[in-house]
Amino acid sequence: EDNKQSSTSSALSFNAVLDPSNPLGFLESAFNFVSENSDMFNTDSVEKKISSLVKNIKERTMKEEAAKKEHETKEKEEIKEKPKPKLNPNKDNGVDMENHSWGQNLQEVTVTVPVPLGTKSRDVVCDVKKDYLKVGLNGQTPIVDGQLFETVKPNDSYWSLEDQKVISLLMTKCDKISWWKSLLKGGPEIDTQMAEPEKSKLSDLDMETRSTVEKMMFDQRQKKLGLPTSQEIENQNMLKQFMAQNPNFDITNAKMF
């Protein structure tokens, strides 16, 4: 009989799926199975062992979950903090995009948008606001649409349709002393340290500025050659003129202020 009972017990099988999110559920199923098929739970020592086992399982599960969350948080922070690579600017100090390109100097921003050959001016949508730009064609998804990287002067901005195939836009910057990193906020950024200013000509300057710059350039050349600057030449000429008008004046006793 004992052999028969042992054979029956060994024929019992326990089937349950361990859900990592609910390990105690699996343990409870195991306990129910053991309780129904044996007298294992009738002793105090077993209860203490099981309590210790449950405690260990809970602590281990909590540690694993905490480690998993910490790892996920760290990965998100690394992705968030990783800076976007900066592009080398194109020849116009901007970026050539798939469906448009833009460039700049310190005073202006230019945008070039290719459109189908035969496009008419009435087909063009060009909306320039102080901090917003939209360019495209009527009835179609805008080609350029978003918040400008910096502000512009809408009244000093102009667009034209060249050869019925290219929209050309010029916008005047409000801040004329810095380079834009991007045309639109969130767009690809250039390395502004690689931007090259235009080679200016003295003939492009107003008369007063041009005169001042020429004087500064003359003085620099004179200093390098060890010759008097424009101010020193002017002082010498004034002294010569004074001596010519006052030939009897003894300059040796004069006090210079």
> Which tens digits make up the pLDDT trace of 102-160?
999 989 999 999 999 999 999 999 999 999 999 999 999 999 999 999 999 999 999 99
Band of residue 91 on the pLDDT scale cut at 50, 70, 90: very high
CATH fold group of domain 85-193: Immunoglobulin-like (2.60.40)
Backbone phi, then psi, for 109, in 5-degree steps?
-125, 135
Q: Dmax over Cα atoms in the chain, in whole Å?
A: 153
| 133 touches 111 (CB < 8 A) | yes
Which stretches does DSSP call E strand in the chain? 95-96, 101-104, 108-114, 124-128, 132-137, 144-147, 152-162, 166-173
The model's pTM: 0.50
Residue 151: CB atoms within 10 A of its CB come to: 14
Any idea which residue has 């000429």 for tokens?
237
Ramachandran region, residue 196 (left: φ > 0; alpha: ψ -120 to 50; beta: rest):
beta
Lowest mean pLDDT among 98-102, 114-118, 196-200, 249-253: 249-253
Q: Are strands 95-96 and 166-173 parallel, antiparallel or unpaired?
A: unpaired
The pLDDT of residue 193 is 87
